[in-house]
Amino acid sequence: MDDLRDKYLGLISGAGDEAALEEIRLQAVGKKGEVALKMRELGKMTPQERQVMGPRLNALKDEINSALAARKAGLEDAALDERLRGEWLDVTLPARPQRVGSVHPVSQVTEEVTAIFADMGFSVAEGPQIEDDWHNFDALNIPPEHPARQEHDTFFMHRAPGDDRPPHVLRTHTSPVQIRAMQAQGAPIRVIAPGRVYRMDMDQTHTPMFHQVEGLAIDRDISMANLKWVLEEFCRAFFEVDGVELRFRASHFPFTEPSAEVDIRCSWSNGALKIGEGDDWMEILGSGMVHPKVLESAGVDSTQWQGFAFGIGIDRLAMLKYGIPDLRAFFDSDLRWLRHYGFSALDVPTMRGGLSR
C-alpha cells in the first residue's frame, strides 16, 4: 500500500501537462487501475482483513484523487501565468476609440459640400421649409400655369373655407432662400442654400422629401465661364478625382436665362461607377444665369448686377459617391443600413484634411 502511494504521488508531482496527468489517473484509480484491482481483491479476504484493508484502500484512493486535483490546478495556474506574461497590457496606454452613433450620409455629404463651397468663398444661407406662394413661385418667375404650381406636384398647406390669404406650400426647392438672401444682403453675394425640399414623387430615385443644395453668385461681371469653373472645381473636389469633364446642354428653367443641364463624363464597369473617365454621360445638376426678373423681385438692379445659380440633389450625390443603390433606404430608419453606410461622428470633412477619410 505504501509502495503504491509513493509511486503515484511521485508520478503526479512530476506530470508536465494535463494529458500526462490524465494517463496517471487512469493507471491509478481508473476502472482498470491498480487501486481498482486492489479493491476487487477485498472479496477474497476475510471479514477481519476487509475491515483493515477497505478503509486503507479508500484513503489511498482519496489521497491520489486529491493529489491529481491539486496538480491539475497547479498546471492551470502555470499556464495562465505564462499566457499573462505573453499577453501583457500597458494600462497607461490611451483607450481604444469607441464609435458612438453614426452620421447619416446625407448629413456627411452636406458637410462635404459646405466645406468645398466655403473654400471658394460661399457662405451658407437658410430659410423656412414652409414658404408663401410668392417666395416659392412668383419671385422666381414661375408663371401661374406652370405644372409645379399644381397640386399633383406640390404640397399645399390646408386653408379654411373662405380664407383668401396667399397659399403656403412645403417648399419645392431651396431657391426661395436665394430670394431672401438677396433681399437681406443685396449684391454682391455668394451663398449656398442646403436643406430639405418636398415634391409629390416616389420611386427608387425619388422621394416626397429629399435634400438639395443651391448656389448663387451675383456680381457685376459674372458669366457662364465662372459658373463652369465653379462646377468643375466642385466636382473635382467632391468626387476626389483629378480629371473632370462637364457637358452643358441647353434647357429651360423659369428662374435662369440662359439655362443648362450639366452632365459629367463617367463609365460603368461591372456595375461600378467611375467619374471623370469613359464614354458615358450622366446628368448631375441644373444651372444657368439668374433671370433679370428674379433679380428685380429680390430688389437687385438687373442693369448693374448679374450672376449664376445652380441646384444639386444632395441625396443623389451621396448615392453616386458612396454606391448607395436605393434612395428610399435613406429614410427607412434602419440602424443596420446606417451602421453600414454611416460615418464616424468625428469624421469632419475639410479641404485640408480630406473630405471622406
Extents of the domains making up the chain? 2-86, 105-341
pLDDT value at residue 98: 66
Q: Which residue has the higher pLDDT, 72 or 215?
A: 215
Q: How confident is the model at residue 306 (pLDDT cuts 50, 70, 90)?
A: very high
Backbone Cα Rg of the chain? 40
Tell me which residue of 328, 338, 337, 329 sits closest to 207, measured CA to CA: 328
pLDDT, tens digit, 9 for 90 and up, residues 184-196: 999 999 999 999 9
Share of the chain above pLDDT 90, in %: 42
Q: Which residue has the higher pLDDT, 81 or 96?
A: 81
- Buried b / exposed e along 124-136 (16+ C-beta atoms within 10 A): bbebeeebbbebb
**The pTM of the whole model exceeds 0.75:** no
Q: How confident is the model at residue 165 (pLDDT cuts 50, 70, 90)?
A: confident
Domain boundaries 105-341, CATH class? alpha beta
Rounded CA-CA distance 101/57 in Å is 66
pLDDT, tens digit, 9 for 90 and up, residues 219-233: 999 999 999 999 999
Q: For the purposes of burial, counting CB atoms within 10 Å of the CB of 302, is it exposed (0-12), middle (13-18) or buried (19 or more)? A: middle
pLDDT value at residue 23: 86
Q: Which residue has the higher pLDDT, 345 or 250?
A: 250
The stretch 70-92 carries a mean pLDDT of: 84
pLDDT value at residue 1: 72
